[in-house]
Chains A and B, each alone.
Chain A
Amino acid sequence: MNLSGKSQLAGILKKHEPEILADWTQSQLAASTLRSDLMTEAELREQSRQLLNALQRGAQEGQLNDVSGPQWQEARDLLTRISRSRAQQGYTPSETATFVFSLKQPLFARLRKEIGSDVTALADELWLTTTLLDRLALFTTERYQQSRDELIARQQRELLELSTPVVQLWNGVLALPLIGTLDSERTQVVMESLLEKIVATSAPLAIIDITGVPTVDTLVAQHLLKTVAAARLMGADCIISGIRPQIAQTIVHLGVDLADVVPKATLADAFAIALKRMGLAVARAGA
């Protein structure tokens, strides 16, 4: 078997490029994985042409069994670009990988036509080509996954920044409306921003409203208690409001000790208590 990586592939690619490109585009357009809603035919044709060019230049240098070398840089860059744009457009991973895999059929057909008489040589060439394309497709999928991961990480960061506002209800009264599930990373951010704000506004009272928190487990309860304890160490009192019936049941079943925490049914009740503690009262105008 020809494992040195020398092959006739480069020559064949160069000689029959227009035919291979035509066959390939046609098979892609006919395939069920075609997403005409996401990409125009001209775009697809252009991407196919670029990849075929890069493939030819890469194959010219030899080294078909290693796509990490410098001669494949162009092909790698191109595939990175394509998989990135497809990940953003909403292609599935298999649809993205199929872009590379679909080149196999037209390429194999051409190889068979060129060296059909020599069975051993054909088998060698087919093996080399299939390994090459598999590696490139794997690379594409990896890049696709990577860009998806980046997207998710970015969205998570944005969500984290958006979801922890500390608002000032009154001079000396802060409110922290929590919405969504609390994990340890988020609670850490919540805790820090609340404590920073307590220092910045020197507010002696903070209301943590958990109306928007769907579930509370031991870890979340622990985090809440830690926040309350840390605020107390700094000299501020915390009131927790908006505890749902299910959460109350869970807290008791879990055996979490909320003895140090002042619970109030609603944010309004908590605010009323806060005003009372500061010696303030709400009165009807003119009364």
Chain B
Amino acid sequence: MARIPILKMGAFLLVTIQVDMHDRLALTLQDDLTTRIVADRAHGVLIDISSLDVVDSFIGRMISDISKMAQVLDAHTVVVGMQPAVAITLVELGLSLEGVRTALDVERGMELLRLQVSEG
């Protein structure tokens, strides 16, 4: 089964979602990511969803859950590159992803992560 690759960049983990998310894939990602955060002692996770065009309530919840789990594991999460259609869908679904930090692109997302980690 296909997996979403998790790349290590210094103290951060980079996840780029470039395929259509389905529920199994999302659950696998959740599993892999939490394992990697602990294994690599990562302090930050950057999730790039700029290629994601379609989102449903499950995927929305998954993004929010991953962020909370990372927080419990002492890692900050930033979601970057959300498409307007996806943002509107999530808001209409009532999922405003409270507590999830967002940025426009990977560059700004990295900057935000560094800032957060240096603040503790």
Query: Which residues of A are in contact with B by a Cβ distance under 8 Å?
Result: 191-192, 195-196, 198-199, 202-204, 226, 229-236
Contacts and interface: CB of A to CB of B under 8 A. Distances in A.
Contacts of A199: 83-84, 104
B92 interface: yes
B84 A204 contact: no
Nearest to A197: B84
A167 B90 CA distance: 26
Contacts of B102: 232-235
B11 interface: no
A230 B105 CA distance: 15
A230 B91 contact: yes
13 contacts: A192-B88, A198-B84, A199-B104, A202-B105, A229-B96, A231-B87, A232-B96, A233-B86, A234-B87, A235-B79, A235-B80, A235-B81, A235-B109
A39 B90 CA distance: 57
B103 interface: yes
Contact of A230 (B79, B81, B87): B87
Given A191-B88, A195-B87, A226-B92, A233 B82 contact: yes
Q: 9 shortest A-B CB distances, which residue pairs?
A: A195-B84, A230-B87, A235-B103, A235-B102, A235-B104, A233-B87, A229-B96, A230-B91, A234-B82
A258 to B, nearest CB: 14
B105 to A, nearest CB: 6
A174 to B, nearest CB: 12
B41 interface: no
A204 B74 CA distance: 27
Interface of B: 79-84, 86-88, 90-92, 96-97, 102-105, 108-109
B91 A198 contact: no
Nearest to A230: B87
B104 A233 contact: no
Nearest to B103: A235
B5 to A, nearest CB: 22
Contacts of A203: 104
Nearest to B105: A202
Nearest to A203: B104
A195 B105 CA distance: 14
B56 to A, nearest CB: 15
A46 B79 CA distance: 71
A196 B90 CA distance: 16
A230 B103 contact: no
Nearest to B88: A230
A198 B86 CA distance: 14
Contacts of A202: 104-105
Given A199-B84, A230-B84, A235 B108 contact: yes
Which of A191, A196, A199, A204 has the most chain B CB atoms closer than 10 A to its own CB?
Answer: A199
Contacts of B90: 230, 233
A263 to B, nearest CB: 18
Contact of B104 (A196, A204, A226, A229): A204
Contacts of A198: 84, 104
Contacts of B79: 233, 235
A167 B96 CA distance: 26
Among B81, B87, B108, the most chain A Cβ lie within 10 Å of the Cβ of B87
Contacts of A236: 104
Contacts of A196: 84
